[in-house]
Chains A and B, each alone.
Chain A
Amino acid sequence: MAMTTTPAPDVPVGLDEAPVVPPKPARRKSLMKRLRRAPVLYLMLLPGLAYFAIFKYAPMYGITIAFQNYLPFLGMGGSPWVGFDHFVRLFSGPDFGRLLSNTLILAFLNIVIAFPAPIIVALMLNELRKQMLKKFIQTAIYIPHFLSWAIVSGLTYLLFALDIGPITVLFNDVFGTRVNFLADPDWFRPLIMAQTLWKGTGWGTIIYLAALAGVDKNLYEAANLDGAGRFQQMRHVTIPAITPTVVIMLILNIGNFLDTGFEQIYMLTNSLNREVADVFDTYVYFMGITNGAYSYSTAIGLFKSVVGLILILGANWLAKRFTQSSLF
């Protein structure tokens, strides 16, 4: 599963990068030979492994809190065990169905809309030729990432305010309506998506621009010489070049599928749109502020992690089957 910069079909690259990957290419070299050159590599791995051991795996025992009624004062040794009680409570609660559907819908919208957006914008930026303009736009679009959700919410309230918000006024004038963006459940998801796109797209382009920067200029030259137009160059050079990056980003982001961004949603939720707004993250917050619901929120987190793991493995398998890139 060695990954290569997939070249355009008519551009020679040389050497024997086989597009079809043999199941375990690593076994070509003998074990001894591999181990012999390894020492330096393992040395390089050492700090990282130590980090994971100390800061990731050592604290992992904390997950067991999900199976207790944990009280920090009593510690793990002293807190009572409740087994799967929290999970049962989560799944059998009257709100579970609503939470699940709201979360899934938002997650789906995120993958379908918010994930491709930075890629498209990165490609567009890539086509700009005036460097100054490109630099300006790049810097401008990534500013919103630095504003906290509190500020973004405040701005949203300002802009979409009933009757007087600038965007509301514009919308009402154009469509002759009297929309209440902030209270109407039908507008909740579009507003959330608009916020996500506004805040995250610019930042998201950075990684794709980095990938695009690594594309060999010669490939473009060669394609040009072969008479390829702009869009053909994009199809045969640019897009294959960033496909591995896109696939990896997709797989990794799917691990966060059920994460919907607590702060963002909490700030836009009110009594009138709660039906569509409530998601796991806000629910956990509400449970947390009354109950010292440490265990309960850990349980919900564990649930989300397990789902994320299943999704990543699934996505990885799909990626392996249909493209050449995958996580393992």
Chain B
Amino acid sequence: MEQLTIALPKGRLQHQTLELFAVVGYPVSDEAASGRKLIFEDLSGALRFILAKPADVPTYVGYGAADLGIVGEDVLREGHRDLYEPLGLGIGRCRLVLAGPPEARSRDLRPEIGLRVASKYPRLALEHFEARGITAEIIPLSGSIELAPAVGLADLLVDLVETGRTLRDNGLVELETIMEVQAILVVNRASHKLHFGVIQELIRRLAVEVARRERPGTLGAEVGG
């Protein structure tokens, strides 16, 4: 059987994803799970995993260097790779939100001409404002976005939140949810055709497990929630 290469996002999602693959029949050794190696196989040798920076996963899959990948919807929509997205994995659930200081709640943004918004997601942020007819200058940052309003770099921010704790700790409030996010299985278009049977089978197994977890009252229904 042909071996499939799967790009995993290093970090938060990596362990939840490996656990999901283990449950559907592709466990990896403890050494591999530790994440010290960037390339490793499952115990059966059917799958080869590579560990990439989350934002790079769509690139690996887009070019076909990996046949499949696991990536957050936020990262997927921020990029513009042309991939299949056959399955939401129900893990890594969070929200992309617009946030700012509490007084921003009562502010009408449309007439503003100097509005500055900090974000790791410049494209999604810009789309959001354009769709609402708001003129905003997007300031791309690569982390600790909460800092920007505190020091006057930006008025608002667009960022991913899981519980909202970090925002609160920095005196910020959520103004609007831009999108709900979860981890998505993505597939390269060429791989989908060239390894059709094995990829379909893998998707089927994952889909069964995801559905089982999402049935109310089932053990482990809110993995990673």
Is chain B a partner of chain A in the same complex?
no
Residues of A within 8 A of B (CB): none
Residues of B within 8 A of A (CB): none
